[in-house]
Amino acid sequence: MIYLFLMHFLLSWLAFPEKSKSAEKPNFIILLVDDQRWDALSYGKNTYFTTPELAKLAAQGTYFPDAFVTLSICTPSRAAILSGQYGSRNGVMDMGSRLKDEPNALGNIMKNNGYATAVFGKWHLPNQPDNLGFDYSFIFKGITTYWDVDFLENGKKKSTDGFVDDQTIDQTVDYLKKRDDRPFFLFVNTFAPHMDENYDWPIKAAERSHFDQQAAPLPADWNTDFEGKPAYLKSERPHQRALEYGYDRPDSIRSHVYKYAAANYAMDQAVGRLSKYLTDEKLLDNTYLIVLGDNGWFMAEHGLTSKVLAYEESMRVPFFVLGPKVAVQKSDEMVLNVDLYPTILDLAGIQKTIHSQSISLKKQLSSQGKPKRNHVFYEAPVPVHGTYPHYAIRTKTWKYIVTYHPEKARELYSEELYDLRNDPKELKNLAADSGSAKVLAQLRKTAQKEIQNSNQ
């Protein structure tokens, strides 16, 4: 009798080996917050902005205060995440370019390794979601309104009522409630705090009531004369659009900061519902939640608006990870958005050769990890939104930016050097300072080596 029971148990186990194996695979959710600058996450810093739900999540995992994007603009940032490569390698350096290597996109790799794959919210790539590996999509394309948005559910129009990020998060939760037994990989994209299609943040009074418009901070150099900055900025879109927004007047700047803060808070409250579901269902026991911004946003810093440029308000973003065996800590590692690709594959146990531009953060998520990088490389190789081609090297204490003429290949336009320890707002360019000549030479050499590697 015992023999028959053991035989039955063994045969049953052999009949369903894949289900047992897949049940051990971790799940993954990337939460990409649109235009959320580094200081817009109210965790680990004093800031005008408040994001209580995101702060609560950040406190449960590993927070990376030194996190950056490889190119600060919507489409290239998403391509970098899904490819693990810089735009000069994956083909996406502006708003209209397609990701070249679709078969090796992160969604396809996860799908081919047994994961249920889905994308929600803002989609800002010319490639179709299914071509990048997403079996299910609930998206809108590019820039939209904040209210009553028409989404596309697997390509078919679906009208919605209410705040755009509420709809994105509610659909994500609904998908999780109806999921099958496969492990899942979700790419969830908010729209707020990005401006809407009318260049505004039309948030309701309830969210705005959390902020005092008159207390909104003014940047130290909002009324800059552009000394030490590339001269072209004064006459091109980054500054001219800022003037259209009224950034030559403190009241207009404060109004924008105030409304951005309210939109950021509304997004945070929507995310809270996803957080609650993951917590209530104990999904975080076997789910890695990776939260980051796609890029930052200027609100009159250096007299500018928008992004792309390699200053801190643009290229630095929030970034934290929580999940199984992730240490509760602040990491000293300098991280990039391209690092998500190898990190997720490493945590999932998927073997794949990874391009050397990105690193796995698996060890950094434990208390044993030690920093791997001593600098990050930033590239904006083509003119975008009125900027000239430029590159940057950012260490823990210094930043070097080199700008080239847009129509004269590799003809130097300007150099900038900032001592971030003593000048974190990047107000004084030390490129012409004799006392900083040695640092300038070192970082210039590093930049040229990185630029050469990126063009190979």
Q: Enumerate domains of the chain plus CATH numbers.
A: 25-371 (3.40.720.10), 388-454 (3.30.1120.10)
**pLDDT at site 274:** 98
pLDDT in tens, the chain (456 residues): 444 444 444 444 444 444 334 458 999 999 999 999 999 999 988 899 999 999 999 999 999 999 999 999 999 999 999 999 999 999 999 999 999 999 999 999 999 999 999 999 999 999 999 999 999 999 999 999 999 999 999 999 999 999 999 999 999 999 999 999 999 999 999 999 999 999 999 999 999 999 999 999 999 999 999 999 999 999 999 999 999 999 999 999 999 999 999 999 999 999 999 999 999 999 999 999 999 999 999 999 999 999 999 999 999 999 999 999 999 999 999 999 999 999 999 999 999 876 768 999 999 999 877 888 999 999 999 999 999 999 999 999 999 999 999 988 789 999 999 999 999 999 999 999 999 999 999 999 999 999 998 876
Distance of CA 171 to the CA centre of its chain: 21
